[in-house]
Chains A and B, each alone.
Chain A
Amino acid sequence: MNRRRRPRGRAPWVLLPFAGLGVAFVALPLVALLQRTPWSDLGDLLGDPVVTDALRLSIVSAFAATGISLLVGVPLAWVLARTTFPGRSLVRGLVTLPMVLPPVVGGAALLFAFGRRGLLGQPIYDGTGFLLPFSLWGVIAANTFVAMPFLVITVESGLRSADQRYEEAAATLGASRWTIFRRITVPHALPALLAGAVLCWARALGEFGATVTFAGNLQGRTQTMPLAVFLALESDRDAAIALSLVLVVVSLAVLIPLRDRWLR
C-alpha cells in the first residue's frame, strides 16, 4: 500500500552516479570548448570566408541530404515495413550497413561507383561530362549515403507500430492505396517521420569521413564545417574552436526543441 503512494519515476539510488557520469562525459568537452573560446576575436573569426563558406555548405548539404532521404527513404521504409518479398532481410541489412561501415570506406565505395572511372560514374561522365565527386553534389551524395539509414530505420519502426486497422477502415470507405498512404499512413507516422528526419539531418551535418574521401576538401566547394574544423586544428586553433562552437550552437538549436517532442 505504502509503495503505491510514492511518486512514479523515482530512480534507484545506485543508478544516479552512473547517470551523472554519463552527463559529465558529454558536458565536459563542451565546457572545455567554451573555456578555450577566444571570445574577443570571435566576431572576426566567424566573418572569415572559410567559416561562412563551410557553414553554408554544411547547412545546404545537410538539408539536401535530408530531402533526398525523405523522398527515397520513406517509400523504402514503407516497403520494408509492410511487404514481404524474398531477400527482404538482406535488403534490411544492406540499408542499415552505412550506419556501421566506417564512413571512409563508404566514401571509397562511392568513388568506385560514381568516380570518373567508376561503375556508373564512367558511363555518365563519358555521356554527359557530369562528375559527381569533388562537387557539392558529391558532398550531398556522401551525406545521404551515411545519413539515410537513420531515417529509414526510424520511419520503418514507426510504420510497423502504427495501427493498420485505421488503414483498413479507410479502405472500406473507398480510399485507394495512394489516398490511404497520403491521408492515413503518413499522418500516423508523422512523429517517426520527423524524428527520422532530425536524426538524418544531424548525422549529415557531422559527416566527415565519406565526404572527405568522396568529395575532397575544397574550400567554398566541398569543405563543410567538420572538414574545416579538422583542417583548422592543424593551422589555426582559434578558428577551429570558433567553427566548432558554431556547429555546437546550430546542433543544439535544432535538437533541444525537437528532442522531447519527437526523439523519445
Chain B
Amino acid sequence: MLDAHIALRLGDLDLDVGLTARTGEVVALLGPNGAGKTTIVRALAGLVPIERGHITLDGTVLDDPGTATFVPTEQRPVGVVFQDHLLFPRMTARDNIAFGLRARGTDRAAAGEHADHWLDRLGLTDHAHDRPSALSGGQAQRVALARALATDPRLLLLDEPLAALDATTRVHVRAELRRHLDTFDGARILVTHDPVDALVLADRLVIIEHGRITQTGAPAAITSRPATRYVADLVGINLLLGRLEGTTVILDGGGELTVAPTHPSPDGQVAVAIRPQAIALYLREPDGSPRNTWPTTVAALEVDRDRVRATLDAPIPVTAEITAVAAHTLDLRPGHPIWASIKAVDITVYER
C-alpha cells in the first residue's frame, strides 16, 4: 500500500498531489506533458526529494521532510521501468536482469539463475545473451520489466513504458504488459499521456494537470463524466458547463439544453457530457421527439477512416460524430448551415 503526498517545486512545475495505491492495484497517472507525472515517479523512486508531504510504502516512511527522513533510491523497495527502458547498453539481457540482484549482494551464480527464471517467464530465453541494441522494442520492454521486478519490489513504477514503441507493436505489447502486470502483487503506478494505455492497463485513473490532481476514479467513471476540458478532449467527449434549473441547463457559453430529470447539485452548477455519436445532424429542421434541436453551422470537419467529426459553431460548441456516408449525404462542408439535435436522455448531467 502506497500512501503519498508529494509537494515540490522544480523549475516551472509546482507539484502538489496526494496519491494512494493499494497492494495489487494499477493506478494510471494521466496528464499532458509537463503536468508533473514523471516528477512524481522520480519522487517515489527517491531520485528527487520532496519538499513537503510524505511517501509511505507498506508502513515504512521513505520520504518525510517533516521528520527529515529520506531513504535513498538504492534502499527503496521500488522498481522502475523507465521511458526508453534505459537498459544498460554494454550488458546482455541476462546481465541487465541480474544487475539488481548482483548490486544487492547476491552472488553471480544465484543472480544468473534468477535472471534465467525471469527470462523464461517472459519468453526471452532465446535472447539471454543479446545486447539491448539487438532486441526489438517489445523484447526490450520485457527485459526492462524483468529487470525492475527481479529485485522483488513492493512498488512498481512504469514511466511511459509504451512510448518508445511504434503503433503496431504497441497494441501487442500493451496486452502483454497487462498480463505481466497482473502477476505482480505489489502496488503499480503507470505514467502515460495515452488514454488508451491508461484505460487498458489501469484499475484507477488519476488525472494530473499543472501539478494538481483534477480528477480521479475508475476509467468508466472518468470517461463518462470528465471533470476538465483536458479529460473530455482526451476521451473524445463534449464537455459543457452550466447551471441546472429544473430540467433545463443554461449553458455558461450561451444556449440551453433540456435534460432528463436529475438531482440538482446544491448550487445548481453542473457539467454536461455529451458523446459525439449522440448528436444527430439534419439538413432541415427535424420533426419528432428530440427536445434539443437547434440551427447552427459547421465550423470544421475531421475525417477519421469511416467516421467524420463535425465541430459545430455557436450557440452550442460541440463536436458531432457521424458516418462518412451520412456526411456525404448531408454534403457537410465548413460554413454550411445545419440542424443539430440531441435526445435529453443522451445528456449526462453531473455536479462539477
Q: Which residues of A contact B (CB under 8 A)?
A: 165-166, 168-176, 179, 183-184, 187-188
CB within 8 Å of A: which B98-118 residues: 99-100, 103-104
Q: Distance (Å) between the CB of B114 and the closest chain A CB?
A: 13
> Is B90 an interface residue, CB under 8 A from the partner?
yes
Q: Encode B8-49 as 1/0 by CB contact (under 8 A) with A.
A: 000000000000000000000000000000000000011100
Q: How far is the CA of A171 from the CA of B47 in the complex (A)?
A: 9
CB–CB B86/A169 < 8 A: yes
CB–CB B88/A175 < 8 A: no
The residue that B104 contacts in the complex, of A174, A183, A184, with Cβ under 8 A, is A174
A172/B99 contact (C-beta < 8 A), A166-B86, A166-B88 known: no
Q: How far is the CA of A145 from the CA of B156 in the complex (A)?
A: 50
Query: Among B75, B88, B151, which residue has the most Cβ atoms of chain A within 10 A?
Result: B88
> Is B350 an interface residue, CB under 8 A from the partner?
no
Secondary structure class of chain A's binding surface, majority of residues: helix
Question: What residues on B are CB-neighbors of A188 within 8 Å?
Answer: 90
Question: What residues on B are CB-neighbors of A169 within 8 Å?
Answer: 80, 82, 86, 88
Q: How far is the CA of A174 from the CA of B82 in the complex (A)?
A: 15
Residue of B nearest to A187 (CB): B90
CB–CB B103/A175 < 8 A: yes
Q: How far is the CA of A34 from the CA of B99 in the complex (A)?
A: 54
A172/B80 contact (C-beta < 8 A), A165-B86, A184-B88, A187-B90 known: yes
Q: How far is the CA of A175 from the CA of B96 in the complex (A)?
A: 12
Q: How far is the CA of A184 from the CA of B103 in the complex (A)?
A: 12
A173/B90 contact (C-beta < 8 A), A168-B47, A168-B73, A179-B103 known: no
> Is B225 an interface residue, CB under 8 A from the partner?
no
Question: What residues on B are CB-neighbors of A168 within 8 Å?
Answer: 45, 47, 73, 86
CB–CB A172/B78 < 8 A: yes
Question: What residues on A are CB-neighbors of B86 within 8 Å?
Answer: 165-166, 168-169
26 residue pairs of the A-B complex, CB under 8 angstroms, read A165-B86, A168-B73, A169-B80, A170-B88, A170-B99, A170-B103, A171-B47, A171-B73, A171-B74, A172-B74, A172-B76, A172-B79, A172-B80, A173-B79, A173-B99, A173-B147, A173-B151, A174-B74, A174-B100, A174-B104, A174-B151, A175-B74, A175-B99, A176-B74, A176-B103, A184-B88
Q: How far is the CA of A173 from the CA of B85 in the complex (A)?
A: 13
CB–CB A173/B100 < 8 A: yes
Question: What residues on B are CB-neighbors of A183 within 8 Å?
Answer: 99, 103
Residue of A nearest to B95 (CB): A183
Residue of B nearest to A176 (CB): B74
The residue that B103 contacts in the complex, of A165, A166, A174, A187, with Cβ under 8 A, is A174
Question: What residues on A are CB-neighbors of B80 within 8 Å?
Answer: 169, 172
Q: Distance (Å) between the CB of A208 and the closest chain B CB?
A: 39
Instruction: Give the total number of A-B pairs whose CB atoms are below 8 A apart.
Output: 55
Q: How far is the CA of A169 from the CA of B72 in the complex (A)?
A: 13
Q: How far is the CA of A173 from the CA of B73 in the complex (A)?
A: 8
Q: Encode B290-314 as 1/0 by CB contact (under 8 A) with A.
A: 0000000000000000000000000
Question: What residues on B are CB-neighbors of A166 within 8 Å?
Answer: 86, 88
Question: What residues on B are CB-neighbors of A174 within 8 Å?
Answer: 74-75, 100, 103-104, 151
Q: Encode B53-81 as 1/0 by CB contact (under 8 A) with A.
A: 00000000000000000001111101110
The residue that A165 contacts in the complex, of B74, B75, B82, B147, with Cβ under 8 A, is B82
Q: Which 3 A-B pairs have the closest CB atoms?
A: A173-B100, A175-B103, A171-B73
Q: How far is the CA of A174 from the CA of B148 in the complex (A)?
A: 10
Q: How far is the CA of A183 from the CA of B47 in the complex (A)?
A: 19
Q: How far is the CA of A51 from the CA of B78 in the complex (A)?
A: 63
Question: What residues on A are CB-neighbors of B148 within 8 Å?
Answer: 172-173
Given contacts A173-B151, A184-B88, 17 further A-B contacts (CB under 8 A): A165-B86, A168-B86, A169-B82, A169-B88, A171-B47, A171-B73, A172-B76, A172-B148, A173-B74, A173-B100, A173-B148, A174-B74, A174-B75, A175-B74, A179-B103, A183-B99, A183-B103
Query: Among A172, A175, A183, A188, which residue has the most Cβ atoms of chain B within 10 A?
Result: A172
Question: What residues on B are CB-neighbors of A170 within 8 Å?
Answer: 88, 99, 103
Q: Distance (Å) between the CB of B184 and the closest chain A CB?
A: 16
Q: How far is the CA of A170 from the CA of B45 in the complex (A)?
A: 12
Q: Distance (Å) between the CB of B96 and the closest chain A CB?
A: 9
CB–CB A173/B45 < 8 A: no
Q: How far is the CA of A171 from the CA of B74 in the complex (A)?
A: 5
Q: Encode B129-157 as 1/0 by CB contact (under 8 A) with A.
A: 00000000000000000011001000000
Residue of B nearest to A163 (CB): B86
Q: How far is the CA of A170 from the CA of B47 in the complex (A)?
A: 11
Q: How far is the CA of A137 from the CA of B18 in the complex (A)?
A: 63
Question: What residues on A are CB-neighbors of B90 within 8 Å?
Answer: 187-188
Question: What residues on A are CB-neighbors of B151 within 8 Å?
Answer: 173-174
Q: Distance (Å) between the CB of A170 and the closest chain B CB?
A: 7
Residue of A nearest to B100 (CB): A173
CB–CB A172/B88 < 8 A: no
Residue of B nearest to A168 (CB): B47
Q: Distance (Å) between the CB of A33 and the closest chain B CB?
A: 42
Residue of B nearest to A171 (CB): B73
Q: Distance (Å) between the CB of A76 and the closest chain B CB?
A: 24
Q: How far is the CA of A230 from the CA of B143 in the complex (A)?
A: 61
Question: What residues on B are CB-neighbors of A175 within 8 Å?
Answer: 74, 99-100, 103
Q: Distance (Å) between the CB of B300 and the closest chain A CB?
A: 34
Q: Distance (Å) between the CB of A189 and the closest chain B CB?
A: 12
Residue of B nearest to A177 (CB): B74
Query: Among B72, B86, B148, which residue has the most Cβ atoms of chain A within 10 A?
Result: B86
